[in-house]
Amino acid sequence: MTIHQAKGLEFKVVIIAGINEGIIPSYKTTIKDIEEERRIFYVAITRAKERLYLLSSKERIINGKVQTFKPSSFLQNINIKNLYHDNKGN
């Protein structure tokens, strides 16, 4: 399901992949709509009752070409207890 469909639901485990600039928030998001995108992301992460996994990638293959991505700026604004961050791909 999309993060837009998560409103009002709860799950033991929530996994959100693709938390990169240009994806969350979308490259199509205007300055005017950025706070709405942030709110939708916040709603999605609060759906987790026990575990929350937030995934971003350094590189993705799009149309046969490797593209580099930065983690979403939204990740800088959250404070999560017991955060595990793995930069080594393990």
pLDDT at 84: 57
Average pLDDT per 10 consecutive residues for the chain, totaling 90 residues: 81 92 88 89 90 91 93 82 55
Query: Coil, strand or helix: which one is 70?
Result: coil
Residues 20 and 11: their CA atoms lie apart, in Å, by 23
Query: Coil, strand or helix: which one is 68?
Result: strand
pLDDT at 88: 54
Helices and strands in the chain: count of H runs, count of E runs:
1, 4
Please choose, from the candidates 8, 90, 18, 87, the residue with its C-alpha nearest in 3D space to the C-alpha of residue 46. Answer: 8
Domains, the chain, in order of start with CATH, read: 3-77 (3.40.50.300)
